[in-house]
Structure 1
Amino acid sequence: MSVHEPAPTTDFAQGLANLREHGFTVVPDVLAGETLARTRDALYRAAAADRCRGREVEQFALDKGDQSLTQRVWNVLSRDPVFEDLVEHPSALAFVREVLGWPALLGNLSANICSPGCEGGHLHADQTFLGEPWPAAGPQGLNVAWAIDDFTADNGATRVVPGSHLRNCSVPADEMEADTVAMQAPAGSMVVFESRLWHKTGNNITADQTRAGIFAWYTKTYVRTQENWFLALKPEIHQFGSDDMLTLLGYKSAGFGLVNGRSPV
């Protein structure tokens, strides 16, 4: 198992090498300036609206402690147009195409906002929908996490066990408290990690720093999406979506989801 963290890199080939060896890679400076500011404002606005209307989700199974300190925002894709840009960002889709192949599906786009005092979460892998041993073909899913605020060791950055993807199994009961490292990344970074990597939300031990991240979950096409886009999606996203977006949402199909033998669109 790897004992070192990969250095952040904007080199795509090195990022892929980091994924193979460590299970994750940090790509800095993908969002910047006004784009990052608009995205951050849109996310915090959606989170505030959920709190105001009492629409916060009950305790999420992977979170510990007080739910009010670890807010989940679901169906982020329908909340503001800026999030559509994240889903099909060229830097994100480059990793999706290389690791999972194409076509692929967007299983979910959700946010995790970790406020001071949040107790983090339980160590897990995202490929537990498969029986073990997992396929030798490699990861069946890929997370692209967008650091909307700085991710630091103290403010609740996602924590991982580097190299754990090479175990090719879910977290054994006796390793739930395995040593982890924080995926530290400045705001605007893209953190890519594969579905077999053991990870969890970190503890926020700061007095005044909130850590917000948006997590795009992509999978191979045979995997059922976590979000039911056909029920949850705002109509205009389907109506005006690009070919890539419609493919990711399952509206353009190849092999699965056909209607009378053809893709629905």
Structure 2
Amino acid sequence: MHHRLMLTEVDPLAGDQAAALVRDGYLLLRGAVPAAWRDMLRVAFDAGVGSSDQWSAPRGGGWRHALLDLDPTVQRTCRLPSLLAVGAEILAGPFFLAQVEGREPLPGEGHQPLHRDGAGAKAVSALVFLDAYGPDNGATRVVPRHLDGGEPDEASSLIVAGDAGDILVFDADLPHGATRNRSGARRRSLLLSFMQERHRASQDACRAIRNVRMDTSEVFVPRESARPLP
């Protein structure tokens, strides 16, 4: 797809949040999604769930997957200022929204080994929770950066818990993984990724296999470094 790049300036993260992000490698933004949007996001999620043949590449078993990147409320959620501020702090330069889809662990399923997404790729992952989440219904666990010894260590992992409307944002190189949905309660989420602008060409080359339909031409620039792209 060929679109004219549009620059959007991103305000910096508050000092205390920036310090916590440097220490831990993640931030939990509690109640970040406006309450009025949450039902609309759940409707978009459920409407986007289809058969496996709607995806160009197979999705992992044990999960419900939703194709929803064209939904306007999903798009607005991906651009929440608090979310973009965390992305700007981690990526420290121009970046773009590379992908967003819906995921939900099925009852009795969802457990993932601790892993790193794209080690060394310098990316940001975020989980926008559409239902209450915790250790009973497949919440995500992370290893805080200051406890990360290089090899994934379950003993150092923490299970994140909270309510619908929270957003977990983390350096994609941080060890993380979902837990098993033991209770069977719904735990819908949006999974999205931001990547540095220098990765745009490689991401554009695989749009089809990643089922990316949305316009990804917007470039987010940390305000202190906002300037025309070379």
TM interval, shorter chain, is 0.7 to 0.9
More strand by percentage: 2
For residue 197 of structure 2, give the secondary structure of its aligned residue in structure 1: coil
**How far apart, in 1, do the equivalents of 2:196 and 2:21 lie?**
17
Q: How far, CA to CA, are the matches of 1:119 and 1:19 in structure 2?
A: 26
Is residue 163–residue 197 contact of structure 1 (8 Å, CA) maintained in 2? yes
Question: Sequence identity, in percent?
Answer: 19
TM-score, with length taken from structure 2: 0.76
Aligned-partner Cα distance in 1 for 2:177–2:170: 12
Q: Cα distance, 1:183 vs. partner?
A: 1.3
Residues 96 and 219 of structure 2 are in contact (CA less than 8 Å); yes or no, is this contact kept in structure 1?
Answer: yes
Give the Cα separation in 2 of the matches to 1:13 and 1:161: 22
Deviates more, 1:92-101 or 1:194-203: 92-101
Q: CA deviation at 1:129?
A: 5.1
2:144 match: secondary structure: coil
Q: Secondary structure at the match of 1:247?
A: strand
Summarize deviations over 1:64-104 as a string: whole Å, max 9, x none: xxx2x312335x312x1111102222111112222213420
Q: Does 1:254 align with 2:222?
A: no
Total equivalences in the alignment:
207
CA distance in 1, matches of 2:128, 2:42: 10
Residues 1:205 and 2:159 are matched in the alignment: no
Amino acid at match of 1:254: L
> Aligned in 2, Cα 1:34/1:225: closer, same or farther, shift over 3 Å?
same
Corresponding letter in the other structure for 2:218: L
Q: Structure 1 residues 161, 147: closer, same or farther in 2, change over 3 A?
A: same
Query: 1 CA distance for matches of 2:114 and 2:204?
Result: 19
- The counterpart of 1:96, out of the listed 83, 87, 101, is 87
What is the CA–CA distance in structure 1 between the aligned matches of 2:219 and 2:81, rounded to whole Å?
A: 15
Distance, in Å, in 1 between the alignment partners of 2:154 and 2:35 is 38
Alignment correspondent of 1:85: 76
User: Of residues 166, 171, 180 in structure 2, which corresponds to 1:194?
Assistant: 171
Q: What residue in structure 2 maps to residue 181 of structure 1?
A: 158
**1:145 aligned partner:** 127
Q: Give secondary structure in 2 for the equivalent of 1:85.
A: helix
Aligned to 1:225, which of 203, 219, 225? 203
Shift of 1:109: 1.1
Provide the TM-score with structure 1 as the length reference. 0.67
Question: Which of 92, 100, 106 is equivalent to 1:115?
Answer: 106
Counterpart Cα distance in 1 of 2:195 and 2:37: 26
Report the AA paired with residue 124 of structure 2. Answer: L
Residues 27-50 of structure 1: CA distance to partner in whole angstroms, max 9, x if unpaired? 111123321110111111111xx1
Q: CA RMSD in A?
A: 2.9
Higher relative contact order, chain-length normalized (CA < 8 Å, sep 6+):
2
Alignment match, 2:65: 72
Deviation at 1:54, TM superposition (A): 4.6
CA, structure 1 residues 104+210, in 2 after alignment: closer, same or farther (shift >3 Å)?
same
Larger Cα-atom Rg: 1
Q: Give 1:229 shift.
A: 4.5
In the other structure, the counterpart of 1:136 is none
Deviation at 1:177, TM superposition (A): 4.8
Structure 1: stretches of 5+ with no match in the other structure: 1-10, 61-66, 131-139, 256-265
The 1:150–1:142 alpha-carbon spacing in structure 2 relative to 1, beyond 3 Å, is: same
Structure 2 residue aligned with 1:260: none
Counterparts of 1:11-26 in structure 2, within 5 Å, are 12-26=14-28
